[in-house]
Amino acid sequence: MTPIIEFRKFSAWYGDAPSLQEVTLQVPPHEILGVIGPAGGGKTTLLRSLNRMNDFEPRFRCEGDVLFHGLDLYRQPVDVAVLRRKMGMVFAVPVPLPGSILQNLELGPRLDGRSGGMDGRIETCLKAAYLWDEVKDRLDLAAQSLSGGQQQRLCLARSLMLQPEVLLLDEPCSGLDPISTAKIEEALQLLKKDLTVILVTNNVMQASRVADRTAFFLQGKLVEWGPTQQIFVNPREKLTHDYISGRFG
């Protein structure tokens, strides 16, 4: 299958400090790619290179290629706003914007100049994020009054409102309780029918539970990647084995 996303010898720096070194990686569509590795390994840089969120770092620079549907995101002209709408992003800390649940959900389409007739989509997205039953009667409630787990699922639903092709999840469950985590993981399994997911996680077990493929990053280098089964049962590299068995991290 042709990959939807492809990194080719992609390197990135913040100032002088290398953050990613010659990463080559393909992500097939309708799969979940789990990205694991200790902090500072370049996982978030990888994610933010995809929707060009690194543009806001004045000292960021990169070499190599990132391809999305064959389009080189750093060498060919790209409308960043359109790109970001195709790649929904959920951050480690839930960021409900001020305003109601409804306003949060409507913001994405509104920024795109679309408004009205979204009721159906709101329900679909809230259901997909496993949040509908908890908020269906109180969509006017301030988003920030939801619990942390609910906020994160709202952020997921808000990204889904964009009808993205790719979901970029940056440790989305790091601050969540087990029940909310389970709900998000369930949601991802269903969502991959419609889109491709890149899930950065500090929780090795989460990757083993939900990812189709897993990539292990250490200090900016992609140590190993492959089908999750293989990475967890029979890793080629000793470093990978040590990390997933909890010997460092």
Partner 1 sequence: MIDMGDAHAEALPAPAGFGSRWIKIIAVAFTSLTGLACFVILAMVAIILGDIVIHGLPGISWEFLSAAPKAGMTEGGIFPAIFGTVALVLLMTLAVVPLGVAAAVYLQEYASQDSKLVSLVRLALQNLAGVPAIVFGLFGLGLFVEFAGGSIDALFFGGKLTFGQPCIFWASLTLAVLTLPTVVVATEESLRAVPRSYREAAYALGATRWQVVRYVVLPQSIGGILTGTILAISRGAGEVAPIMFTGAAYFLPHLPTKLNDQFMELGYHVYVMATQSPDVEATKPILYATVFVLLAVTFALNFAAVLIRSRIRRRLRST
Q: Which stretch binds partner 1 (CB under 8 A): 21-29, 109-117, 131-139, 173-181?
A: 109-117
Q: Which CB sits closer to partner 1, 93 or 205?
A: 93
Q: Is the Cβ–Cβ distance between 7 and 25 less than 8 Å?
A: yes
- Among residues 66, 75, 72, 68, which one has the least CA distance to residue 45? 66
- The tokens of 33 are what? 């790619």
Q: Does 43 bind partner 1 (CB under 8 A)?
A: no
Among 108, 172, 220, 235, binds partner 1 (CB under 8 A): 108
Q: Map residue 36 onto helix, strand or coil.
A: strand
CB-neighbour burial class of residue 49 (10 A; exposed 0-12, middle 13-18, buried 19+): buried
Q: Which CB sits closer to partner 1, 84 or 153?
A: 84
Q: Does 85 bind partner 1 (CB under 8 A)?
A: yes
- Among residues 208, 212, 171, which one has the least CA distance to residue 29? 212
Q: Which CB sits closer to partner 1, 97 or 205?
A: 97
Local structure of residue 142 (DSSP, 8 states): B
What minimum distance in Å lies between the beta carbon of 210 and partner 1? Answer: 21
Q: Map residue 20 onto helix, strand or coil.
A: strand
Among 95, 139, 182, 239, binds partner 1 (CB under 8 A): 95
Q: Does 112 bind partner 1 (CB under 8 A)?
A: yes
Among 17, 63, 75, 111, binds partner 1 (CB under 8 A): 111
Q: Does 53 bind partner 1 (CB under 8 A)?
A: yes
Q: Please list, residue by residue across 158-190, b when 16 or more beta carbons sit within 10 angstroms of its beta carbon and e when fewer do.
A: bbbbbbbbbbbbbbbbbebeeebbebbbebbee
What minimum distance in Å lies between the beta carbon of 150 and partner 1? Answer: 16
What minimum distance in Å lies between the beta carbon of 64 and partner 1? Answer: 23
Q: Does 71 bind partner 1 (CB under 8 A)?
A: no
- Among residues 175, 39, 155, 177, which one has the least CA distance to residue 97? 155
Among 81, 190, 205, 233, binds partner 1 (CB under 8 A): 81
Which residues, at least 6 apart from 245, have a Cβ–Cβ distance to it below 8 Å? none
Q: Does 183 bind partner 1 (CB under 8 A)?
A: no
Binding site for partner 1 (CB under 8 A): 51, 53, 56, 58, 81-82, 84-85, 88-89, 91, 93, 95, 97-100, 103, 107-108, 110-112, 140, 142, 155, 158-159, 162
